[in-house]
A and B are shown apart, each in its own frame.
Chain A
Amino acid sequence: MFKKDGSEASPTQPRPAPPAAGRAPAPRRSGGGATIGPSIKIKGDVSGDEDLLIQGRIEGKVKLAKHNVTIGSDGHVKADVHGRTVVVEGQVEGDLHAKEQIILRHTARVEGSIAAPRVTLEDGAVFRGGIEMDAGGKEGKPVVGKKTDADREAGAKRDDGSETGAAGEKESGKSLQA
């Protein structure tokens, strides 16, 4: 799937970290984009006509319905967020609305409600709130997916041309039986 540059790692060498391709795909960026840096604090509404990466703190509302909003790992948002896609790596207290999809990365901590035609939670994401599963409207139910470390590992193995990975969990001998 992914061509390597001829430098195949030998079995004795440590396996490189799983490629980002194993994770939920990042949304398309519609050219350029603004960043709110880690030292910036905003109280009020934020709106605009470009993608936004939030690494700072916002209290108010974020309205970028036609663009991608990313709350970075350093970002703290106390606001309702509207975007075309919303990706959360940091902390959010508020409701998330997206026209296309919402992705909660494994570092995300979200308290609020989620409404989007497509929702992806990564293992490790902490979420408290409601998930509206009719947000697809006329197009039907939203797709709710997940990405796990095992998925990433499996993706990496496939990229190496070897076997696909198992679920990464063990059925121990002391399984409970009814």
Chain B
Amino acid sequence: MKLPWRSRVETASPEVIPPEPPGPVIDIYSSPGLEEALRGVPDDGSCKVLDLGPSVADNVEFVSSFASYLQIIDAIDRNPSASDLEGGGFGRLSALQSLFGQHRRSFSLVLMWDVLNYLSIDQAERLLQSVAELCLPSARLHAIVFATDMMAAVPNRYRILDNARLAYESATTELRGAPNLVPAAVQKLLKGFRVEHSFVLQHGVHEYVASRKRWYVKE
């Protein structure tokens, strides 16, 4: 009896290849905001960088090429089982404030990627107030904010590929509701900073580049 083609193929290849376990989703995109933010930082080796995200080997390596100091805060708890997602798993404000003694008004560049989405308004305001305290008057801030209805349940992890490209990794496919962070709301949150550039990317990603206000006074 003549076997159908499909059956013959199955007979010839009895090995069943198990599907690969799902890994993190990685996307690469051009980041005009990062490029713009880096234009404003001093290149004389005096630059201090405040990264509010998690430690990422590529980012540390990249920052080391122009900065003298890197502070990694990892402001958002990325363990969904341990964090209070409704309230924003934010328990790192004290770590930020502990820097006041040694690093007040010393940072030139702040990287705030996927942070604001995961904080309540009150938490975000307190965070930004602390950040402004830690920054030089000329400091620049690069923020990545999702302005969509839904977002990943835990913040994405961003890696710097070069001065104009980022890769982001989604550790989970689970989604949660996102706060309505339209540009006006973000500008309001960024007390102490003035938004100089904003970029709207696909998938509802907004990038903001802001400079610290020289006249900012802690309230």
> Given A176-B203, A178-B199, do A142 and B64 touch, yes or no (CB 8 Å)?
yes
Verify A132–B29 contact, CB threshold 8 A.
no
User: Does A129 reach chain B (CB closer than 8 Å)?
Assistant: yes
Verify A178–B26 contact, CB threshold 8 A.
no
> Which of A29-37, A74-82, A167-175 is the contact stretch?
A167-175
Q: Mark B41-80, 1 if CB is under 8 A from A, else 0.
A: 0000100000000111110110110011111111000000
Verify B60–A131 contact, CB threshold 8 A.
yes
Verify A175–B64 contact, CB threshold 8 A.
no
Verify B95–A178 contact, CB threshold 8 A.
no
Chain B residues positioned under 8 Å from A177 (CB to CB): 29-30, 201-202
Interchain CB contact (< 8 A) of A126 among B55, B73, B199: B55
> Given A133-B69, A171-B28, do A123 and B74 touch, yes or no (CB 8 Å)?
no
Q: Which of B30, B72, B74, B205 has the most CB of A within 10 A?
A: B72
Chain B residues positioned under 8 Å from A132 (CB to CB): 68-69
User: Does A147 reach chain B (CB closer than 8 Å)?
Assistant: yes
User: Does A158 reach chain B (CB closer than 8 Å)?
Assistant: no
User: Does B181 reach chain A (CB closer than 8 Å)?
Assistant: no
Q: Nearest Cβ in chain A — how far from B108, in angstroms?
A: 13
User: Does A134 reach chain B (CB closer than 8 Å)?
Assistant: yes
Verify A128–B67 contact, CB threshold 8 A.
no
User: Does B27 reach chain A (CB closer than 8 Å)?
Assistant: yes
User: Does B93 reach chain A (CB closer than 8 Å)?
Assistant: no
The 3 lowest CB-CB distance pairs between A and B, nearest first, are A146-B57, A176-B29, A144-B64
Q: A141-B64, A144-B60, A174-B202 are in contact. List 14 more A-B contacts (CB 8 A).
A: A119-B60, A125-B55, A126-B54, A126-B55, A128-B74, A131-B69, A133-B63, A145-B61, A146-B60, A146-B61, A172-B25, A175-B27, A176-B203, A177-B202
Name 14 A/B residue pairs within 8 A (Cβ), A-sorted.
Answer: A121-B55, A122-B57, A123-B56, A127-B72, A128-B92, A130-B69, A130-B70, A133-B68, A141-B64, A145-B61, A171-B28, A172-B25, A174-B27, A174-B203
Chain B residues within CB distance 8 Å of chain A: 25-32, 45, 54-58, 60-61, 63-64, 67-74, 92, 95, 167, 199, 201-203, 205
